[in-house]
Chain A
Amino acid sequence: MNSRMTGRALAGWILLHVVIVAGAIAMFFPFLWTVITSISPGVGLTVTPALIPENPSLDAYARLFAERPFGRVILNSFGLALVTTVVQLITSSTAAYAFSRLPFRGRGIVFAVYLATMMIPLQVLIVPLFVELKTFGLLNTYLGALLPTFASAFGIFLVRQAINQVPRDLDEAATLDGASHFRIFFSVIIPNIRPALATLTIFAFMGSWNSFLWPLVVLRKPELQTLPIALAGLQGQYTTEWDIIMAGSVVSILPMLALYIFAQKYVIQGVASSGIK
């Protein structure tokens, strides 16, 4: 702080830091409280856990995995998120290449239709999708949960923006060397759009890991459930055993947290750029 600050500037400085600190506490405390609760055994109908647990224990976690198929549930979520991510990377980058580099008649209209699918709420599709997958015998299968996530207009848009930024001179040079479009795609474009692909990887993974409505509709068997559904189900079984419910929440947050810390830059860039470009 500067000693020559006027009273007004000082007031501003204080206000600024009050906002910043209050914001950080408000955003972070609920996470802290979740962890504290999960290691405070015996949180029942009336007890509020102490800020510093007297007898911290991992009991709730042990019970979670012993009494519910939580190991399996985590594997389900992880597998589905992984497949969704890989497939979306492929479908998004190939489509984006076509929309950026392969002119054809009606391309503008096709692209507009692709983008319009972003506006369609999943809820509108629930009934027909349910019937469609039932007809194909895909209810209660992983494939049924996966199929509707295979192409994402958002992902296509994101990657197309990135491909548009790659100088066309690079393709031109490759074309002169006799490279095909597949060759250009793999050796010129892909290496130049890695940041966008990283952003998409995180969004696709996060979207799948956190998705609720569609898995809730398709995956009805307990052993097929994903984390959000199993979590929502915990409430039914352990109505007031908050240590267990919070342990489940911690288990569900940790992998996302790890991914987020590792790739924060790409997540925030992705969100920030969607608003100003």
Chain B
Amino acid sequence: MTLSTARPGLADSSTPPKVTYRVRRGKGRYTLTVLAFLLPSAIPLTLFVLGPMVAAAWISLQKWNLLAPMSFVGFDNYAKLLTDTTTRDVFLHTVYYIAGYLPLVYIGGLALALALNAALKGRAFLRGIYFLPVVTSWIVVALVWRWLLNPSNGIVNSTLAVFGIDGPGWWTDPVWAMPSIIIASAWKDLGFVMVILLAGLQAINPDMYEAAKIDGAGWWRRLVSVTLPLLSPSTFFVFVISLINGFQVFDQVYAMTGGGPNGASEVVVQQIYDLTFRYGAAGEASALSWILFIVILAITLIQVRGQKRWVNYE
């Protein structure tokens, strides 16, 4: 059911054809037909994704500033990165981001999805409103939240001041910079998570609730014992996507804090960008990219393998 058909690699793509497409009469012509349909996508994917992917692996073994000729250094870049405290810091910041963002966006998205699933009126309208931030660009979201969370005259601190609370320095304060980014990001993605969970909720057979009700299960009991287990495929999807995207967090960091103050919110991708275009260390940047890719791949595979333990496919 769920992810296996909706996501990479796991889908069964070899549906046996019912029609024998005159294969024998013109094999050459058939090959040409296949190529005609496939090349428009195969050429750009090869030239601009697969090729560069391999090239990045090669560049990661070089010392290179993008201008002077490369010199081969083997795994030096990796060794340097793995012992570097900056690498450790940017990964820690990225994990901090995910640890704050994921619970916020999941619990918030679940609350809204449950509420909309129970609401009788205005569901489509409200869903439209909740989804609005999803279609907005990260840069706009970052700017708007920089303004809302402006320490001196932003609406959040002005409102807190009315109640006599001295609001924090938000994105200007090393301690509050990452929480500011987390709040803005969760706000943007809440609607996305809500729509996925709502679709999952609507796919649950109402008889299951009736049965639980007859057994005398209360609201909380039904949520924990019926809804959440049956919703687990959608939850799994949200977790996989959120972790993949979370490790690649960049746009909102770039526009909200630029990684600051004093590198307090510097994340992995920002570091890749800076290594390439500010420090002229393209080899190291490529090595860090590959480390990031391997981390993402490993975490995704662990999740896919671990899903048997908790994801319920009926």
Contact = CB atoms under 8 A, between A and B. Distances in A.
Given A46-B153, A245-B143, A260 B135 contact: yes
B139 interface: yes
Given A48-B155, A116-B8, A274-B6, A95 B37 contact: yes
Contacts of B145: 30
A65 interface: no
B139 A95 contact: no
Given A210-B137, A274-B237, A150 B44 contact: yes
Interface stretch (A55-63, A68-76, A249-257): A249-257
Interface string B17-40: 111011000000001011011101
B92 interface: no
B216 to A, nearest CB: 14
Contacts of B128: 261, 264, 268
Interface residues of B, number: 114
Interface stretch (B83-91, B95-103, B282-290): B282-290
Nearest to B2: A276
Given A98-B34, A98-B38, A276-B203, A124 B293 contact: yes
A92 B276 contact: no
Contacts of A12: 219
Interface string A41-56: 0010111100000000
B115 to A, nearest CB: 4
Q: Interface SS of chain B: helix, strand, loop or mixed?
A: helix
A206 B9 contact: no
A127 B34 contact: no
Contacts of A107: 13-14
A46 B296 CA distance: 43
B59 interface: yes
A115 interface: yes
Nearest to A124: B289
B152 A94 contact: no
A271 B195 contact: yes
> Could you say which of A23, A113, A234, A246 has the most chain B C-beta atoms within 10 Å of its C-beta?
A23
Question: How many A residues are at the interface, by size bracket?
Answer: 35 or more
Interface string B114-135: 1110110000001111111111
Contact of B129 (A28, A34, A104): A28
A113 B142 CA distance: 34
Contact of A94 (B37, B244, B273): B37
Interface string A96-132: 0111111110011011111111111111111111111
22 contacts: A19-B114, A95-B42, A100-B15, A107-B14, A120-B293, A121-B248, A124-B286, A126-B273, A128-B53, A132-B48, A132-B52, A147-B48, A212-B250, A231-B140, A232-B143, A249-B140, A268-B195, A274-B196, A274-B237, A275-B234, A275-B238, A277-B5
A-B complex: 7 closest residue pairs judged by Cβ atoms: A210-B137, A272-B199, A275-B196, A128-B55, A128-B52, A115-B8, A95-B41
Interface of A: 12, 16, 19-20, 23-24, 26-28, 30-31, 33-34, 37, 43, 45-48, 90-92, 94-95, 97-104, 107-108, 110-132, 147-148, 150-151, 153, 156, 161, 164, 168, 171-172, 175, 180-182, 185, 206, 209-210, 212-213, 217, 227-229, 231-232, 234-235, 242, 245-246, 248-249, 252-253, 256-257, 259-261, 264, 267-268, 271-277
